[in-house]
Structure 1
Amino acid sequence: MDERAGELRDRDGRDRSGRDADGREHGERLSALDAVFLSMEAPDRHMHGGSLMVFDRPTGPDGPEDFDHTRFLRLVRARLSLVPRYRQKLAAPPLPVGNPVWVDDEHFDLSYHVRHAALPRPGSIQQLSEYCARILSRPLDRDRPLWELYVIEGLEDGRFAVLNKTHHAMVDGRSGIDLTSVLLDTEPDVAPQLPSPSPWSPAPTPGAGQLLRDAARDALRNPAALVTAGGRLVAAPTTTLRRAMSLGRVAASMTRATLVHGAPRSLLNQPPGPHRRFAIQRIALEEAKRVKDTFGTTVNDVVLAAVADATGRYLRGHGAVTDRLWLRAMVPVSTRAGSEQHALGNRVVSVFVDLPVFEQDPIERLRICHEAMAGVRSTHHAVGADFLIGLGEFAPPTLHAMAARAAVHSRLFNFLVTNVPGPQQPVYCLGARLIGSFPFTPLTATQSYAVGLTSTDGWLNFGFTADYDTLPDIERVTGYLRDAFDDLCRCADAVTATARDR
């Protein structure tokens, strides 16, 4: 773990193994945004995300072979040192003077976090989705490191799956490094004998008095970010102030647009209960690229247009009137850059995009989505939101909790759409090729529906999360999504054929 300390050094001189630059053993404090995810959690709202990774049957030197769970555990142990956070839990000061800190779990038990399960053979995708939904409906234990991993055997054709469940306060979808990513290899062959795990000795857990003193000290100490911002202001005060004023205007316009107008009421916006449903669908990335090349858009525009169509079809199938109905999607955008790409924690902002679920002309719907996203980019909405998050670092943690609870009980948007790029080359786990990675996303107080997407190895992998009672037939959306892409591809092929015949 110490050999990666330089890579994981934080801005205030504290490395992510939990030691300050002067060698004292203190935990890294939760950022303002990470603390918000903790504050948003409730018995019926679990703020963990996850991914369902489906693997082909493992292949060894002599051909196909069965999955070896014991070997998988050895792999996890061997690579756990690459993600020190996964052996850490949260410790909060006894008074609300600072956010919780990450400290080493002196009683860390890998067998608690890595579970082994099997479906009745041959397990179908529907059975797998239902099993995952039950697991994802349970909260994580706040007294332990905030993650769980489930290895699921018994799938058709000798396949197996790995369900990753991690709290959003711990790592976001664009951070680059989490446990599941370090378990994957770019080559199918791995050494028969995995390396021995790196020695690990947990740092002592600070007592209540130490936690309180550290929180008070951090509250009084000027953050490094403030010094950096001050340096920029001295170097170029006019430019910095002009940019701040511009960002403030953008942020204010975003706030007015969302708070004044709000999002329309729909079937998707019932208060969720504690239980979830989960459905998955794969679409070839080549289809989205063919459409975007034909009409001069982006892959993300094509995805939003298809999701808007599938969602509209689902609502109409339930008797909803969608004439002139626009649903507001919240689209998280990563603000990481350069050396921050492999850091843990959340550096994500959100933009709001109104989707025309009423529009049944595929080309017109794609044009509207393209113009909506182009407007977001041209007005720097994402940058404006990041500016507000930066200001949040200086507010007391109790204000963050209040703001989070107020926001989560507001109807600012109708549903979430996440789009996270993954590796576009084949990747393997112990000789088994990854054939799909499907995200699970949390629901807020007024949302019963969310859409996640991960692109890997030439495929768009969609995961649909829904409240168990509100949307009992969420699997129908996966078929509607397939229909939406078919319509877009037919339009693209027709345009290409017409141009060729001229």
Structure 2
Amino acid sequence: MITKLTPQDASFYQLESSTNPMHIGSLAIVRDPHPDDGSGRPPLDYDRLVALVERRLPLVPRYRRKVREVPLALGPPVWVEDSHFDITYHVRRSALPVPGSDAQLHDLVARLASRPLDHTRPLWEMYLIEGLSGGRRAIFTKTHSSLVDGNTSLEIGHVILDTGPAPREVADDCWIAPREPNDVELLAVRLAELAGRPGEALEAVRHAGAEAVSFAGATGRALERAVRGGAGRTDSPFNARTSRNRRFDMVRTDLDNYREIRKRFDCSINDVVLAVVAGALRIFLQSRGTVLTESAALRAVVPMSVYAESPYGDRLKPVGEVSSFLIDLPVGEPNPVMRLSHIAHATEEHARHRRGVRARTLVHMAGFAPASLHAMSVRAASTFAENAFNLMITNAPGPQQPMYIGGARMLEMYPVSPLLRNQASSIGITSYDGRVFYGLNADRDAMADIGVLSAAVHESMEEMLGACVQ
């Protein structure tokens, strides 16, 4: 089956560069069943992970398809079935020297996140990382942003999770690799389409062979022009030409702390998250010797999948819309309560006029949605011009009960969001099982001190909690 990429899919595919690979990453840390727990469940080894992924592929059929260019650039790229699909190419194995530390895991994830995906194959990879201390393993998944749209296609890390130790049953897969179309056949299909559309045919011929012009590129530029009229960002260390290499760090915090602050100041958990981030950014900038006036701000694009809370604040669930907006984080404000107040007012105003990206599939699927929601958030962020903001923050809620991968309990989950052009850092945030996890992806050269920002998250949280008792 030949299917055209949507304009946004095509823009992600064609605008990728070696220094800005456009894949969404997720890092899950799991613990194998203990031999003495009486469950009799085997550990999550490589063969079991391959078998699990293969059984779940029918839920994400696009993961067996690859992108092909139409000859003579007569149309957008297309999805075709990969006739040589090899699951063992995509699900890989890696290991740390036992006992592997979190710092070693960070370095490995950074290296894996730095490498672009192979565009001659389906655009995803999954790594089982063994050797972590404390009987833990990690699963790092990276999926090209063109692959996940949250509606017809979800992120594969979403579908391999279960709500209990016993993997759920899925329908048997009868997929047989079809013959892949050659260039002549792709061209014939496109010419047949153009035969009934003379206007589109004329436009295609005009631009055929022009490497810098494509249907997707035109769409991307139109989106850029739509937002370029707004106020631009301020200069900051978070905006720099990126290298090929990355740094990664992660932060663990408690969801109850956010709930306590939310209750004390009558705001949303999203507001508290942004206030904690703003405080951490303030501390980070000060550590670099930046002189901050009281009015200083960093502009963030916040394509946030909003938390839907019960009246009692005891439940969190994803909603069916991912909203994208620009917000000025008041990093110059020394008072944490005032920072939170500024952010709460700004998000309330944006809520009245927000534009959303629908994600209907996510609403109706049980299980763990953040990986797919982060992919949707990056798509929403990409609609803003690169000079409109300083950094991207994505925030996606997850279930507040344990989840499992092949019988192994998931302990932690971290997003690894890509760096957009001239963005030296991105911050991904996910809540799960009573914790809030931060994944900080950064350029290796521009953000060598990313660990300072990670530590500053805890310092900012303590400052917010201290304000609650005053």
Distance 1:276 1:295, change over 3 A: same
For the pair 1:295 / 2:262, whether they are aligned, the reply is: no
Deviation of 1:62 (Å): 2.6
Q: Secondary structure at the match of 2:459?
A: helix
Alignment identity in percent? 37
Measure, in 2, the Cα distance between the counterparts of 1:427 and 1:172: 23
Paired position in structure 2 for 1:403: none
Query: What secondary structure sits across from 2:325 in the alignment?
Result: strand
Partner of 2:124: 147
Find the counterpart in structure 1 of residue 361 from structure 2: none
What amino acid maps onto 2:355 in structure 1? A
Q: 1:279 aligns with which of 222, 227, 249?
A: 249
Q: Which residue of 2 aligns with 1:483?
A: 459
Distance 1:453 1:218, change over 3 A: farther
CA RMSD, Structure 1 to Structure 2 (Å): 3.1
- SS state at 1:80 partner: helix
Q: For the residues of structure 1 that align with 2:78 and 2:343, how far apart are their CA atoms? A: 41
Does the 8 Å contact 1:441/1:450 carry over to 2?
yes
Partner amino acid, structure 2, of 1:271? R
Q: Deviations over 1:295-349 (max 9, x none)?
A: 11111111111111111211110111222221110112569xxxxx99xxxx966
Question: How many Å apart are 1:381 and its aligned residue?
Answer: 3.3
Deviation for aligned residue 1:196: 9.6
Mapped contact 1:174–1:420 kept (Cα < 8 A): no
Q: Which residue of 2 aligns with 1:230?
A: none
Q: Which residue of 2 aligns with 1:104?
A: 81
Relative to structure 1, the CA distance from residue 175 to residue 295 in structure 2 (aligned partners, 3 Å threshold; closer, same or farther) is farther
Secondary structure of the 1:269 match is: coil
Q: Out of 167, 175, 183, which is 2:144 matched to? A: 167
Aligned pairs for 1:131-280 within 5 A: 131-172=108-149, 177-190=154-167, 198-216=173-191, 255=226, 259-280=229-250
Q: Report the Cα offset of residue 488 of structure 1.
A: 1.3
1: CA distance, partners of 2:329 / 2:167: 46
Confirm whether residue 319 of structure 1 aligns to residue 319 of structure 2: no
| Structure 2 residue aligned with 1:91 | 68
Q: How many angstroms apart in 2 are the aligned matches of 1:428 and 1:282? A: 19
2:6 pairs with one of 25, 31, 35 = 31
Distance across 1 between alignment mates of 2:323 and 2:148: 14
| Contact in 1 for aligned 2:99/2:132 (Cα 8 Å) | yes
- Quick one: structure 1 residues 475 and 150, their matched pair in 2 at CA, closer, same or farther if it must change by over 3 Å? same
Q: What letter is aligned with 2:272?
A: V
Change (3 A) 1:255 1:78: closer
Report how far residue 119 of structure 1 moved: 0.7
The one-letter code matched in structure 1 to 2:341 is: R
Write the distance in 2 (CA, Å) between the matches of 1:212 and 1:333.
40
Whether the 8 Å CA contact 2:258–2:272 is kept in 1: the answer is yes
> Which of the residues 21, 32, 46 maps onto 1:69?
46
SS in 2 for 1:43: coil
Q: 1:55 Cα shift? A: 0.8
Q: 1:174 to 1:309 in 2, by over 3 A?
A: farther
User: How far is 1:197 from its partner?
Assistant: 5.8
Farther off after superposition, 282-291 or 326-335: 326-335
Secondary structure of 1:484 counterpart? helix
Q: 1:456 to 1:334 in 2, by over 3 A?
A: closer
Structure 1 residues 144 and 441, CA, compared in 2 at 3 Å: closer, same or farther? same
Alpha-carbon offset, residue 370 of structure 1: 0.6
- What is aligned with 1:377? 351
Q: For 1:170 and 1:450, how far apart are their aligned partners in 2? A: 20
- AA partner of residue 313 (structure 1): I
Does the 8 Å CA contact 2:143/2:155 hold for their aligned counterparts? no
The TM-score normalised by the length of structure 1 is 0.75
After superposition, the C-alpha distances for 1:371-407 in whole angstroms (9 at most, x for unaligned) are 11111112x1325x99xxxxxxxxxxxxxxxxxxx98
One-letter amino acid of the counterpart of residue 421, structure 1: P
* CA deviation after TM superposition for structure 1 residue 366, in Å: 0.4
| Counterpart code for 1:314 | F
Once residues 331 and 75 of structure 2 are traced to their aligned partners in structure 1, the CA distance between those partners, rounded to angstroms, is: 43
Q: Are 2:60 and 2:153, in contact at CA under 8 Å, matched by a contact in 1?
A: no
2:115 is the alignment partner of 1:121:
no
Query: SS state of the match for residue 268, structure 1?
Result: coil
Return the alpha-carbon distance in structure 1 between the equivalents of residues 273 and 196 of structure 2. Answer: 45
Deviates more, 1:319-328 or 1:129-138: 319-328
Structure 1 residues 106 and 255: CA distance shift in structure 2, 3 A: closer
Unaligned 5+ segments in structure 1 are 1-25, 223-250, 336-340, 387-405, 496-502
Looking at structure 1, the residues matched to 99 and 23 of structure 2 have their Cα atoms a distance apart, in angstroms, of 29
CA 1:420–1:204: 2 relative to 1, 3 Å:
same
Look up the SS of the partner of 1:267 in the other structure.
Answer: coil
Partners of 2:277 and 2:457 within 8 A in 1: yes
Q: Could you say if the C-alpha distance between residues 327 and 195 of structure 1 is closer, same or farther in structure 2, counting changes exceeding 3 Å?
A: closer
Alignment partner of 1:157: what SS? Answer: helix
> In the alignment, is residue 44 of structure 1 matched against residue 14 of structure 2?
no
Partner of 1:245: none
Offset from partner CA, 1:39-87 (integer Å, 9 cap, x none)? 3211111011100101123346636864422222221222222211111
The answer for the alignment partner of 1:22 in structure 2 is none
What is the CA-CA distance between 1:294 and the residue it aligns to? 1.3
Q: 2:30 aligns with which of 55, 62, 72?
A: 55
Q: Which amino acid aligns with 1:156?
A: S
Residue 444, structure 1, aligned to residue 420, structure 2: yes
Q: 1:364 to 1:334 in 2, by over 3 A?
A: closer
TM-superposed deviation, 1:413: 0.7
Query: Given that residues 401 and 432 in structure 2 are in contact (C-alpha distance below 8 angstroms), is that contact kept between their aligned partners in structure 1?
Result: yes
